[in-house]
Structure 1
């Protein structure tokens, strides 16, 4: 293992340990702390806002560039199919096929 690879391995181990410590602390502290219902709802809403923001930015941008209209249309098709309560695999396949078809025909 080279010098650079050992740094990567150590980084992975540190991240794994940190993840498990965070999970354990949540389990351990759940019985010791009380959170009122208003704060619990605020935490739930903030997680939803964070995920929504992440989804919007991943839809609009790829690295530092605009993703293109084909990706936006594909995500819109996925939203419509999810709203109509199709299964997840159908939603993913339809979005993928629409995006791939648009890109095949020259849409950016």
Structure 2
């Protein structure tokens, strides 16, 4: 039988902090979420707003965020196709966290 200390350890996979960090850990993830905090954006608008990202990486990151229910993708049947991105409830819930990180950066960097 393990010691009391070993029994109280949280498994890496079950750690809420680690799960949250895995959710938002991509290089562009927080930047995209922060950009979408201002409201819905079309793909090209989002691509222009996120300085330094290439199209392939933006598509990949948006797909990941969509699969995690942080970003919502809405496609319109127009010619050419129109696609808008906005934050889901999970993404909106990250706003205070992002604001606090921004405040910390302003005060400490």
TM-score between both structures, scaled by the size of structure 1: 0.25
Bigger helix fraction: 1
Asked which structure has the greater RCO (Cα within 8 Å, sep 6+), the reply is 2
Larger radius of gyration: 1
Bigger strand fraction: 2
